[in-house]
Amino acid sequence: MGDWPYWVFGGLTLLAGVTLAAWSILGDRSRGRLRCPRCWYDMGGVPVESDGRTRCPECGAAIASARRLRRTRRRWGRAIAGVFVAVAGVGVVDYPNLRAGGWHQRLPTTALILLLPPYSPELNPIERLWASLRAHFLSNRAYDDYDHLLDAGAEAWQRLTPQRLRSVCACSYTTHKPKV
Ligand SMILES: [Zn+2]
């Protein structure tokens, strides 16, 4: 199965979200009707009072200008829901890329560096070799002088075999074979 189901389903979700948002903001215009801008009661037959205001018989709001009676009813809650649905649709369309590249590809390099743990020897395979040399050959020993230390280091180094090196430095990203 290719990625097309994600594109179709995500695209339709995106379209539905955008449609819902647009309809919530623009779908209920006055179109000649006079409505209370607070409770949306039909004020078509309500007379203008002596002070120039129109009083809503439903909720009691006093509306001073005819322009306010022609307000578009905007349903912000539904519009925000539509935006969320649209974002979810983009997420579905983008999911195959995300799956192929990993979520961290979405982050700027600067943020990635800040997110790294302060001590991450596994990111530098040679650090595991130093740790292994210390653990197996060099630590918990007293050295008489510089030459003794140098001999111990040289001996530890010469005990290394290609196999041991490979096994000690095997991090997932050095042994992983990309499926290209
Ligand atoms: Zn009202």
Per-residue pLDDT of the chain (180 residues; tens, 9 = 90+): 688 999 999 999 999 999 999 999 999 999 999 999 999 999 988 899 888 899 999 999 999 988 999 999 999 999 999 999 999 999 999 888 888 877 777 778 888 788 877 777 777 888 889 999 999 999 998 999 999 999 999 999 999 999 998 898 888 777 778 776
User: Do 108 and 19 share a structural domain?
Assistant: yes
- The answer to whether residue 180 is domain-embedded is no
Is 13 within the bounds of a domain? Answer: yes
Distance 35 CA to ligand 1 centre (A): 8
Tell how far the Cα of 18 is from the centroid of ligand 1, in angstroms: 30
**Measured between alpha carbons, how far is 11 from 17 in angstroms, rounded to an integer?**
10
Residues 140 and 96 in one domain: no
Answer yes or no: do 83 and 127 share one domain: no
Q: Considering only CA atoms, which of 104, 77, 92 is closest in space to residue 4?
A: 92
pLDDT at residue 134, rounded to an integer: 92
End residue of a domain, out of 71, 100, 115: 115
The reply to whether 59 and 21 lie within a common domain is yes
Which domain-ending residue is among 95, 115, 135? 115
User: What separation in Å is there between the alpha carbon of 59 and the centre of ligand 1?
Assistant: 4
| Strands, E assignment, the chain | 54-55, 62-63
> Does a structural domain hold residue 88?
yes
Q: Are residues 23 and 83 in the same domain?
A: yes
Tell me what pLDDT residue 162 has.
92
Are 58 and 127 found together in one domain? no
Judge whether 71 lies within some domain.
yes
Q: Is 142 among the domain residues?
A: yes
Same domain, 92 and 126: no
Looking at the 3D structure of the chain, how many domains does it have? 2
Nearest to 78 by CA among 14, 17, 11, 13: 17
- 47 belongs to a structural domain: yes
CA of 31 to the centre of ligand 1 (A): 18
Ligand 1 midpoint to CA 29 (Å) = 16
The reply to whether 106 and 157 lie within a common domain is no
Would residue 135 be called left, alpha or beta, if left means φ above 0 and alpha means ψ between -120 and 50 degrees? alpha
Q: Cα(55) to centroid of ligand 1, in Å?
A: 8
User: What range defines the domain where residue 167 resides?
Assistant: 121-175
Centre of ligand 1 from the C-alpha of residue 80, in Å: 24
Same domain, 135 and 86: no
Same structural domain for residues 166 and 108? no
pLDDT at 58 (0 to 100): 93
Structure tokens at 112: 């990635």
Q: How many angstroms does the Cα of residue 21 sit away from the middle of ligand 1?
A: 25
Last residue of a domain, one of 81, 115, 149: 115
CA 69–ligand 1 middle distance (angstroms)? 10
Q: Are residues 138 and 155 in the same domain?
A: yes
Q: Are residues 133 and 101 in the same domain?
A: no
Look at residue 61 and tell me if it is in a domain: yes
Q: Torsion over CA of 139, 140, 142 and 147, rounded to 10 degrees?
A: -10
